[in-house]
Amino acid sequence: MAGLILKLRPYEELMINGVVVENGDRKARLRVKTDGAHILRLRDAMKPEEATTPLKRAYYIAQMAVAGQLANTEAADLARHALENYGGPGAEETRREVDRRLAENEFYKVMRYLGEIIAHEPTSPPAFAKTPNAPELPLPQIVGGSAP
């Protein structure tokens, strides 16, 4: 993440390597120079109880990798597993695109990509979930700091 620029709103919270940090009363701009830092803006975070569809489960798992709460290989396997049960429009393309980004350990890009699709999911029962091919695995929990 060398050169990552974070633009923070007043009082915005983020998790850096498992520690929750809050910005002050003004906008701030930070530059992260260290490779491998695990940074998650809590405004981008999903709570585990919100991960109710295959896409949301994959998003939450990618979020766990971004926060440094899951190893990349474990997160990639769990995200792929979650997407096996996705049957919405463009499901195969979605799985291919997510898989490509997982192979590159681009978990934040997975979150952004899935977030765009999730925004268009119906709010009623998951219409895009197909009959589960694989049992759903329990979601890991974020450890450290306050809950997002």
Q: Could you read off the pLDDT of 52-86 as tens digits, one per residue?
A: 999 999 999 999 999 888 999 999 999 999 999 88
Query: How many other CB atoms sit within 10 Å of the CB of residue 125?
Result: 8
Q: Do residues 52 and 31 both lie within one domain?
A: no
Q: Do residues 110 and 64 both lie within one domain?
A: yes
In a domain, 136, yes or no: no
Radius of gyration of the chain (CA): 16
Total number of domains in the chain: 2
Q: What pLDDT does 147 receive?
A: 45
Q: Do residues 99 and 53 both lie within one domain?
A: yes
Q: Do residues 21 and 77 both lie within one domain?
A: no
In a domain, 91, yes or no: yes
Q: Do residues 52 and 28 both lie within one domain?
A: no
Q: What is the pTM of this model?
A: 0.77
Q: State which residues form the domain around 114.
A: 48-118
Q: What pLDDT does 143 receive?
A: 53
State the DSSP H helix or E strand holding residue 28, giving kind and residue range, or none if neither. strand 28-32
